[in-house]
């Protein structure tokens, strides 16, 4: 079970004494080999409760560096940190809110409903005159206040303890809503069904759907659950799909239903781009679109953008005869195409001295981890990618070299 600080521990973490001990504890390794000795060192001066609180924060700050530039000064809860938005994504998203009020000091207010430890709140406070940060967890709000002070933004934020569906929110001029509902159970298990979010996705939409609003949801969300959203944006960071955002009313782009965005490149593609209907055999190169493009259903638009074609209407791979280098695409030079036959694949592996194969599959139902056990790789040789896919009624295997 995840550690959760007691009220006494939360109060302690806000003291100058804790600040000093956090700085000292950061010098400890706190690895599996040193953990007991490190705990013993702290226990000479601190209570068991204080020691646990200090150790937890040191470990969380180390994880938090991946998401926050000032993580070493912030306070975290484990589940809140795991769901917190990376500062690059939060900053990007806040810019859309800024467009509602392009001139400063014009009374723009944004409500961050379910602010957690304040990741999005901090970015929103950079563009709004006032942020109303609401959460039903006292500890989250305490830590969010602390983190606002770390970023010198506390004077722009009003903190409210309460249920985000019932708490009264002062209607400021150009009021907009952001919400990141909890997608984990009390035991930390991820939930998939938006009805199991806390609060549920549709409860938030029913309550605030008449306002300009953005709701962060899991990237795996089945979009049939959110047909009421004006725009759906899927965002990838450093080649990994991180989140989807549902945009409503004035925060949505007119006439745009689906959008894929790549960060930190800050490039985007939408459903109003021209698309291709071309389906043909393999060219010299195989291209794998970024996952955000696939999730947003924009593979045909991407193909048209780069003059590529589909190899199958149901497979999210593209092909072409020219080498294209783009953040949108992973590129592979096709060296061999053969039936999905293990003996033939192993023969090719031996003949070409392949010692490592990165296995990918589309539509075959084959587990790459399981299939890897059937391959007879050489001890020292070259690295290649093995792509297994189903094309119509045939299963084929491609052996490729990753080129971009």
My answer on whether 152 and 98 are in the same domain is: yes
| Predicted model pTM | 0.93
Residue 74 in any domain: the answer is: no
Per-residue pLDDT of the chain (404 residues; tens, 9 = 90+): 568 899 999 999 999 999 999 999 999 999 999 999 999 999 999 999 999 999 999 999 999 999 999 999 999 999 999 999 999 999 999 999 998 866 555 567 899 999 999 999 999 999 999 999 999 999 999 999 999 999 999 999 999 999 999 988 765 555 899 999 988 777 778 888 888 899 999 999 999 999 999 999 998 899 988 889 999 999 999 999 999 999 999 999 999 999 999 999 999 999 999 999 999 999 999 999 999 999 999 999 999 999 999 999 999 999 999 999 999 999 999 999 999 999 999 999 999 999 999 999 999 999 999 999 999 999 999 999 999 999 988 999 999 999 99
pLDDT of residue 173: 52
Which residues contact residue 386 at a Cβ distance below 8 angstroms, ignoring those fewer than 6 apart? 345, 357, 358, 359, 360, 375, 397, 398, 399, 400
Name the token pair of 230. 């004006």
Residue 365 in any domain: the answer is: yes
Residue 71 in any domain: the answer is: no
pLDDT tens, residue by residue, 20-73: 999 999 999 999 999 999 999 999 999 999 999 999 999 999 999 999 999 999
Domain boundary among 269, 293, 317: 269
My answer on whether 57 and 87 are in the same domain is: no
My answer on whether 165 and 234 are in the same domain is: yes
Domain boundary among 269, 295, 314: 269
My answer on whether 117 and 262 are in the same domain is: yes
My answer on whether 97 and 141 are in the same domain is: yes
- DSSP classification of residue 289: E
Structural domain boundaries, residue 94: 82-269
My answer on whether 253 and 122 are in the same domain is: yes
Residue 75 in any domain: the answer is: no
CATH code, domain carrying 98: 3.40.50.150
Q: In what order do the strands lie in the sheet with 309-310?
A: 309-310, 318-320, 285-289, 329-339, 394-402, 382-391, 354-362
DSSP string, 112-166: EET-TTSHHHHHHHTT-SEEEEEES-HHHHHHHHHHHHHTT-GGGEEEEES-TTT
Residue 274 in any domain: the answer is: no
My answer on whether 60 and 92 are in the same domain is: no
My answer on whether 224 and 293 are in the same domain is: no
Domain boundary among 269, 299, 324: 269
My answer on whether 237 and 347 are in the same domain is: no
How many domains does the chain divide into? 3
φ, ψ at 296 (rounded to 5°): -80, -5
């Amino acid at each position: 079970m995840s550690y959760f600080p007691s009220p006494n521990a939360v109060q302690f973490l806000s003291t100058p004494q804790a600040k000093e001990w956090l700085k000292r504890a950061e010098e400890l390794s706190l690895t599996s080999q040193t953990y007991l000795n490190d705990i013993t060192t702290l226990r000479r001066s601190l209570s068991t409760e204080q020691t646990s609180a200090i150790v937890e924060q040191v470990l969380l700050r180390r994880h938090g560096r991946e998401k926050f530039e000032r993580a070493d000064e912030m306070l975290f809860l484990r589940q809140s940190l795991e769901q917190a938005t990376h500062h690059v994504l939060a900053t990007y998203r806040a810019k859309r809110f800024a467009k509602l009020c392009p001139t400063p000091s014009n009374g723009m207010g944004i409500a961050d409903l379910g602010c957690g430890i304040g990741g999005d709140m901090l970015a929103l406070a950079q563009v709004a005159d006032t942020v109303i940060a609401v959460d039903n967890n006292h500890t989250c709000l305490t830590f969010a206040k602390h983190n606002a002070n770390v970023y010198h933004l506390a004077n722009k934020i009003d903190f409210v303890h309460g249920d985000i569906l019932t708490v009264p929110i002062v209607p400021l001029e150009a009021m907009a809503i952001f919400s990141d509902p909890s997608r984990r159970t009390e035991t930390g298990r991820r939930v998939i069904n938006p009805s199991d979010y806390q609060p549920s996705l549709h409860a938030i939409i029913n309550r605030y759907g008449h306002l300009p609003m953005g709701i962060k949801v899991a990237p795996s969300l089945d979009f049939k659950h959110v047909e009421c959203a004006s725009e759906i944006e899927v965002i990838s960071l450093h080649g990994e799909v991180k989140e989807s955002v549902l945009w409503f009313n004035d925060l949505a782009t007119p006439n745009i239903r689906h959008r894929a965005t790549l960060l930190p490149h800050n490039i985007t593609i939408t459903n109003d781009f021209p698309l291709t209907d071309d389906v043909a055999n393999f060219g010299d190169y195989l291209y794998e679109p970024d996952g955000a493009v696939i999730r947003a259903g924009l593979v045909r638009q991407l193909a048209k953008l780069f003059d590529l074609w589909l190899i199958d209407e149901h497979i999210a791979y593209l092909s072409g005869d020219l080498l294209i280098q783009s953040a949108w695409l992973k590129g592979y030079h096709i060296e061999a195409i053969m039936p999905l036959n293990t003996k033939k694949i192993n023969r090719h592996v031996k003949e070409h001295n392949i010692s490592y194969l990165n296995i990918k599959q589309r539509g075959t139902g084959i587990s790459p981890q399981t299939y890897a056990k059937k391959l007879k790789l050489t001890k020292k040789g070259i690295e290649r990618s093995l792509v297994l896919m189903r094309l119509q009624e045939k299963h084929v295997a491609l052996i490729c070299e990753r080129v971009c």
